[in-house]
Amino acid sequence: MPSLFVIQGRDQGSRYDLDAPTVSVGRVASNTIQLHDTEVSREHALLERSGDSYQFRDLGSSNGSFINRQPVGEHLLASGDQIQLGKTLLLYTGISQEMPDLSGEIDIVSSASKDDESRILHAVSQTDSSDLLTGPSDGQASPWLARARSNLQIMYRTALAVSHTLDIDQLLSRIMEMIFEWVDADRGCIMLKNERTGELAPRVRRHRRGVQTEDKITISQTILDYVVERNEGVLTSNARDDQRWNPAHSIVKLGVREAICVPMQGRYDVVGVIYIDTSLTPQRMLQERTTTKFTQEHLKLMVAIAHQAALAVEDTSYYKAMVQAERLAAIGQTIASLSHHIKNILQGVRGGSYLMELAMQDHATAIEAGELDTETATQAMETMQKGWKIVERNQERISGLVMDMLTFSKEREPEPVASELNDVVQDVVELMQTRAQEVDVKLAFDPTADIPTSMFDPEAIHRAVLNIVTNAIDACEDCDRREVSVSTMFDDGGKMAVIEIQDSGVGIAEEDLDEIFTVFVSGKGGRGTGLGLPVSQKIFQEHGGTIRVDSEPGAGSKFRLELPLHEAPINQPALIEDDDLSDSDVHGDTLAPTAD
């Protein structure tokens, strides 16, 4: 099945199998493939099945479509094509691969041309060439050559099979399947060595159609040890058992069981073994006058196949280990960053509570000494209030951190309900007013009246706006002019609401602008988690919106939050009233997310 694989962009790692006759790609959810990329148009492109492949058609997108870096309108996709839509890069894999056109690179010149002075020395006709296969003198077809060719074919297909997958089990079953196509085996299995214990464990088992399968495959430990330790493939048969030739246990009665067991020798170590066996029925033995089916050549080829498979297994393990190592490194960084931040919060809590502790001690001492006058009491009270404020602030901080962590970590879909954007922003401004006053920042809100009720996740947008307003206030803290103005606008043409947050703070250096949405990169030193802006951006992107930043170091920053509006459905007014009720419940929650 043809497929699209996102190799760059926010949806990186997503894979889409193309099975419908038409597949639409765009930013909004109505598309077959939704790309969370603000530079992708709402309805960006259409793929239409055409034979084995798909015809790609750009639907007049604003930023255009590029295939293999060339701008395209329409294009018949070929395997390996790279499609760039906005910031998203997709890889198309088709069923069949087209042969590249080499006509431009190889010239066929006419005989009259002087460039080529070759002349024909020998000519071989089709019939003559097949003479090669008939062998030297006896005129019979050369079984050696035929086998050699077939072996080459097998090796080629093995190489192909192992190069196509990174899933070990899938890889092993392909190898097994190929072996069965090639050799007349009844049963087979592949065992891999456990990296830690060194024990062999079966991973793939297969049997030929029509073969009785209730028997377990029994493999002698001696043979396995021999194969693994000596690193040699073996061909075994029970035909040589002395008993066999005893007339009492006639070979004709039992048949012969043969097996091939080969080591999977990788670059460094034996990673496992491949085992196949077959039994010759008495009838067949009589018919073909032989007691062997497997040959030396089978054995040799099996060793070669196993080697190829082992290399692939090693590569895959190596790749997995790399991915795992990277994952662990990322986890380590995450933990380091979070604990650093939590440590700072804890430090704040300790500071606040220590102030309170001292104030309480002072108070108690004064009472004991009977010297409690108004001045001492007031002083103690003031210290306590100061301490309590600090404790509270840090409580809020840890609560915000947890909220951000949740938003960032869970693959949470926005839950759009009919909401008023101005109300949500108003909530944020009211919530932050206390903090703004503490650091002497003037926080103003200037809403636009004409924003219609629309569908979005009020809780998420609240979080997103809150993070940016918090940053704006923090940015002003050490400045002379301390103003943060929040405003909302409505762009009817773009069906978009805009929230603007302008501060008179320190601003962001140009070289840092690219980094501000990177997780765990904080411009606020110890105060920032490095989660706030990435979380805000994630929320807006999930809503199909975007965040733009203008900043001038020393003069302040302007964050422009663009939210595409989807009008709330206006049918069934009774239901909408219910919706509004539940919606205001949500508001109730978001009003004080830190009060719990």
Partner 1 sequence: MHADRVLIVDQSSESREVLAALLARSGTTAIEASRASEALTLTEQLHPELIVLDADSDPSTDLQATRELTAAARRTNTPIVLLGKIAGSHLALDPYELLAKPYHYGNLIRRIEDVLEQRRAA
Q: Residues in the site for partner 1, rule: CB under 8 A?
A: 343-344, 346-348, 350-352, 354-355, 358, 383, 386-387, 390, 393, 439, 477-478, 525-527
Give the residue with the Cβ less far from partner 1, 57 or 340.
Answer: 340
User: Which residue in the block uniquely carries the two structure tokens 């990174």?
Assistant: 166
Give the residue with the Cβ less far from partner 1, 201 or 364.
Answer: 364
- Measured from the CB of residue 367, what is the shortest distance to partner 1 in angstroms? 18
- Measured from the CB of residue 333, what is the shortest distance to partner 1 in angstroms? 14
Rounded to whole angstroms, the Cα distance separating 495 from 506 reads 33
Give the residue with the Cβ less far from partner 1, 41 or 522.
Answer: 522
Give the residue with the Cβ less far from partner 1, 64 or 351.
Answer: 351
Phi-psi region of 545 (alpha: psi -120 to 50; beta: other; left: phi over 0): beta
- Measured from the CB of residue 379, what is the shortest distance to partner 1 in angstroms? 10
Q: Is the dihedral of CA 364, 370, 371, 374 positive or negative?
A: positive
- Measured from the CB of residue 524, what is the shortest distance to partner 1 in angstroms? 8
Burial string for 450-466 (b: 16+ CB within 10 Å, else e) reads: ebebbbbbbbbbbbbbb
Give the residue with the Cβ less far from partner 1, 281 or 385.
Answer: 385
- Measured from the CB of residue 301, what is the shortest distance to partner 1 in angstroms? 57
Give the residue with the Cβ less far from partner 1, 387 or 458.
Answer: 387
Rounded to whole angstroms, the Cα distance separating 250 from 469 reads 91
Rounded to whole angstroms, the Cα distance separating 350 from 387 reads 9
- Measured from the CB of residue 478, what is the shortest distance to partner 1 in angstroms? 6
Give the residue with the Cβ less far from partner 1, 84 or 383.
Answer: 383
- Measured from the CB of residue 407, what is the shortest distance to partner 1 in angstroms? 24
Q: Tokens in use for 374?
A: 């108004």
Give the residue with the Cβ less far from partner 1, 389 or 566.
Answer: 389
- Measured from the CB of residue 393, what is the shortest distance to partner 1 in angstroms? 7
- Measured from the CB of residue 504, what is the shortest distance to partner 1 in angstroms? 17
- Element spanning 587, H or E: helix 573-591
Secondary structure (3-state) at 377:
helix
C-beta pairs of 152-161 under 8 Å, 24+ apart in sequence: 154/178, 154/182, 154/301, 154/305, 155/301, 155/304, 155/305, 155/308, 158/304, 158/305, 158/308, 158/309, 159/308
Q: Tokens in use for 40?
A: 């992708």
Give the residue with the Cβ less far from partner 1, 91 or 479.
Answer: 479
Rounded to whole angstroms, the Cα distance separating 90 from 9 reads 9
Give the residue with the Cβ less far from partner 1, 526 or 569.
Answer: 526
- Measured from the CB of residue 532, what is the shortest distance to partner 1 in angstroms? 16
Q: What are phi and psi of 203, to 5 degrees?
A: -115, -35
Residue 359 neighbours by CB distance under 10 Å: 20
Among 92, 95, 97, which Cα is nearest to 47's? 92
- Element spanning 256, H or E: strand 256-265
- Measured from the CB of residue 469, what is the shortest distance to partner 1 in angstroms? 18
Among 486, 477, 464, 466, which Cα is nearest to 396's? 466
Burial class (CB in 10 A: 0-12, 13-18, 19+), 344: middle
Give the residue with the Cβ less far from partner 1, 41 or 504.
Answer: 504
Rounded to whole angstroms, the Cα distance separating 387 from 540 reads 37
Terminal CA-CA length for the chain: 51
